[in-house]
Structures are given as structure tokens and as C-alpha cells.
Amino acid sequence: MASFLQKNRLYVTLFLGWCLLGIFSSVQYYLMEKGGDMPVTLGKAFLRQLPFYFLWACYTPFILALSNRWIHRQVSTASLLARHLPIAIAVALLQTTFQALFTYSLRTAGSKYELWDYVRGYLGSWFHFQLIIYAMVAGIGYAFTYRRFYREREARALALEKQLSDARLESLKMQLQPHFLFNTLNSISMLVRKHEDQTAIKMIAGLSDLLRFLLDSSHVQLIPLCQEIALVQKYLEIEGIRFQDRLTYSIQVDPTAEKIKVPALLLQPLVENALRHGLKEKLTGGQVQITASAQNQHLILEVQDNGIGLTENLGSASGIGLRNTRQRLETLYGESAQFHLLPAPGGGTVAQIILPTSVNHD
């Protein structure tokens, strides 16, 4: 019972509201007629007034259901009014006609008014009032719906902010591990001793750019794909110098996909996973290929390596970086995003992400 009330709280609240209005109207009618020429009993006052409010209590779930259905379709205000107007007129006619018929059935003996007189009188004095009631019910429904949307969006934003912070810190942790810094600085030292100054400067600049991006993007949730690719390229340049002949990489991005927004730090954990797990046993000929294409309103991102393959790589599928990636995609896109680890043709692993391009996260 408690679960039903919680799930249908809006309907229950409005039903109780109609009941209270009906009771208030009945008591008011009783007090007004009590001092008149034809006083009525309290029971007859309730009989005359409550049915009208109970009818509105029955209309209300139908009106709210229509409003909720149309608001999810994101139609314009003019379209909403055009859809509601004929239904509002029908409900107002039904309610007004019922009031006329019901009042006519309770008329006193010897009344000189016919049924048409009641119908005409109620249409003239109550029809517009029923339209106003319909608009109020629909407005209350929209208000509750937008309130719920706002709360859900706020909750998603808070969850996403936390996950983005965790992803940034995890990426920093992966890059700033002592062995990574030692190997990178050792590579720079070797380049300087060989008088390969330009390459050393390039490596230092790449490391600086990478760290600067990670530290400065604390409040960024979505970035253009071209910016994410630039970050990954800096990372691969550093790793390429450190791995030397053990690693080659290629990046292929569809020009139509470069401006599509993607979660910040989306690809870097996938590349890190390919290098640390996929190519860890490769002495030579390690390859990493990154591709991005836009197809049928979806962005397809793939990070492929030619390493030890998916069977040996299963442990990484539940690692912090990949688990964080799955959670962020679920928070941002729900069931619209897909994330797969697949065997690559000829050996190795493909990490594939499919994102909708039509979702707005502003």
C-alpha cells in the first residue's frame, strides 16, 4: 500500500484535493441555502455538489497522462495548446451537460424549467469555468513533471560531476605513477645526451600539455572529439618515444565527427589499457589504432591493439578505468550508449564505444 501511494502520489494528492473542494463546496452551499426560502439538509447539499468534483477527480488522471505523454515528445507550446484545446472543450461539454442533467433530475415538483433550459443555463454560466479548471489541472501536471525533470537532471549532474572527478584523478594517478615519471624523465635524459634536443623538447612539451589539460579540465564534462583526440595524441607521442620501436600508432577521424561532443577523458583510459595490458608482452611491432566515424546519428569510437588478445585481457574489463568509463556513459546516455570489448581480426582487442549524436547534455 505504501509503495502504491508513493508511486501515485500526484494522483492521490489531487484526488484528495478534489474531495476537500467538494466537501467545502457542499458545506458552503448548505450554509447559503440554510437561511433562504428553500433550505436544504446537509445530506442533500453533499448530494448536489460532490458528484461534480468526483467527476473531475476521474478526469484528472486522464488529463495528466496526456500531458505527461506529450511533454516527453518535446512538442512546442503552440502544438501543446492545439492538442489540449479539443479535449478541454469535450471535457467541459461533458461536465456541463452532466451538471445540467443531474440538477434537472433533482428539480422540485412543479418546476417550470425544462431540460433544455438547464442545459442552456449551465452552458452559458459554467462552460468557460470548466475550461479554466481543465487548464489548471493540466498546468499542475506540467508543474510536477518539470519539477521531477529538474530533480532528476540535478541528480544526474551531481553523479556525473563526481564520476568525472574520479576519472580525472584516476587518469592523473595512472600518469603520475613513479615508474611512469621515471621512465619518461629517463627517456628525456637519454635524448639530451644524444643531442636530440628537439625530440626531448617535444616530449617535455607533450608531458606538460597532458598534465595541464588534466589539471585544468576539472569542470568540463563534454568536449569536442577533436580536443579529445589531441589529448590522446599527446599521450601516445610520449608513450611512442618511451616504447621506441615497440609501438606504432595511427589515428583516423572522420571530419564530420570532429565537432561532436564526447565525455572528457573518454579515450585515454582505453589507450592506457591497450598499452599496459594488450601490448605488455610485445617486444616489437606493437600497434594501436584509433578510429572515429559518424554513422546514422551515432559516433563510433574504436581503440584497437594487436596484443595478447581478449582472453588474456578479461581482467582489465573490470578495472578502475574501464569500469569508470561504463558508469560515465550510463550516467550521460543511459541505454543509448554502448561499450564493448571485442576480439580484433588477426589478434588483439578492440574497445568500441557507440554514442548517440542527438542527445543534448547542455
Q: Amino acid identity of 224?
A: P
Give the tens place of pLDDT for each residue, 171-222.
Answer: 644 544 454 566 667 778 888 888 888 888 888 887 787 777 766 665 667 8
207 near 184, Cβ under 8 Å? yes
According to DSSP, residue 356 is labeled E
Query: What does the pLDDT read at residue 264?
Result: 81
Partners of residue 355 on adjacent β-strands: 299
Query: What does the pLDDT read at residue 284?
Result: 74
Query: What does the pLDDT read at residue 7?
Result: 58
* Lowest model confidence (mean pLDDT) among 172-186, 220-234, 325-339: 172-186
Averaged pLDDT score across all residues of the chain: 79
Whole-model pTM? Answer: 0.52
* Lowest model confidence (mean pLDDT) among 1-5, 17-21, 125-129, 255-259: 1-5
**Rounded distance, CA 38 to CA 29, Å?**
12
Classify the C-alpha dihedral 250-337-329-158 as positive or negative. Answer: positive
CA distances from 168 to 175, 213, 244 (A): 11, 10, 27
Distance separating the N- and C-terminal Cα atoms of the chain: 39
Query: What does the pLDDT read at residue 184?
Result: 67
Give the tens place of pLDDT for each residue, 250-303.
Answer: 999 999 999 999 988 889 888 888 887 767 666 677 889 999 999 988 999 999
Please give the average per-residue pLDDT across 83-98, as a whole number.
Answer: 86
**Rounded distance, CA 330 to CA 87, Å?**
38
Query: What confidence tier does 319 reach under pLDDT thresholds 50, 70, 90?
Result: low
**Rounded distance, CA 238 to CA 180, Å?**
10
Query: What does the pLDDT read at residue 4?
Result: 53
Query: What does the pLDDT read at residue 254?
Result: 93
- Does pLDDT of 117 surpass 90? no
* Lowest model confidence (mean pLDDT) among 95-99, 311-315, 355-359: 311-315
